[in-house]
Structure formats: structure tokens, C-alpha cells
Amino acid sequence: MQRRIDGYDIRQSFSRNLKLYRGKLNLSQLALSQKAGITHNFVNDIENCKKWASPETINKLAVALEIEPYQLFMTNPLDEKRTRRLHLQLDELNERFNQAVCEIKESYLLIEDD
């Protein structure tokens, strides 16, 4: 069964990006599989769109490739400017979230003291 969203084939993009990032680090499939802690055959099957990776495996691959998991799904994965901008937006969102959590904690602690 093909997985398409508005003509975007997720498996093919994931496979292509996995190969691109692996190549960027000059890793063989075997080296990537060892670094990620999965079998060589499984890496080969993912790259050939024969099998799909679980969220845990996607994370292992991303860590091994020294990227964020979402980068394996991007249509233009090596667009560094776009990737950098997305990282900045994610960092800002994370900072706002942490600030909101701190404010809620402080507010809660003030209520507890009353």
C-alpha cells in the first residue's frame, strides 16, 4: 500500500533522505546499522522501500545520522537554510514552552503558600 499525502510518497522520501544523510557522513549501510543498533538487512529493506521503520527505529537512525528525525521526512532534506530556520523556530517554541511551564509552577507555588 502506497502512503501518499497530496502526491508526497512518504516511504520514498524517507528512503531517499536516509541514503542522502548516510552518504553525507560517508557511512555504508553496514556502518549505519551498527551505529544505530539495527540489522544491516533492515537498513537495506528500508532504503529499498521494502519495510517501514517504527518510531523507535526512526529515532535510532536519526541519532546515528546526527540529525533530527523530522529531517528524514523533508522534501528538500539538504536545504540547510530551511533546516536552520526550522531549528530556530523549534528552539524558540521550546523556550516559550519552558517559560510557560515555569510561570505555571511559580503561580502554583504562590497559591500553595497562601
Task: List the chain pLDDT tens, one digit each, 114 residues.
Answer: 455 555 558 888 899 999 999 999 999 999 999 999 999 999 999 999 999 999 999 999 999 999 999 889 887 766 667 777 877 888 899 999 999 999 988 888 776 555
Other C-beta atoms within 10 Å of 96: how many?
10
Instruction: Report pLDDT for 20.
Output: 92
Answer yes or no: do 37 and 56 share one domain.
yes
Answer yes or no: do 86 and 103 share one domain.
yes
Instruction: Report pLDDT for 1.
Output: 46
Q: Which H, E and C letters describe the chain, residue by residue?
A: CCCEECCEEHHHHHHHHHHHHHHHCCCCHHHHHHHHCCCHHHHHHHHCCCCCCCHHHHHHHHHHHCCCHHHHHCCCCCCHHHHHHHHHHHHHHHHHHHHHHHHHHHHHHHHHHC
Instruction: Report pLDDT for 107.
Output: 84
Instruction: Report pLDDT for 25.
Output: 93
CATH (domain of 66): 1.10.260.40
Answer yes or no: do 99 and 43 share one domain.
no
Answer yes or no: do 53 and 95 share one domain.
no
Structural domain harbouring 102: 79-114
Answer yes or no: do 71 and 84 share one domain.
no
Answer yes or no: do 7 and 53 share one domain.
yes
CA torsion, ordered 82, 52, 26, 36, to nearest 10 deg: 110
Number of structural domains the chain divides into: 2
Answer yes or no: do 60 and 88 share one domain.
no
Answer yes or no: do 55 and 10 share one domain.
yes
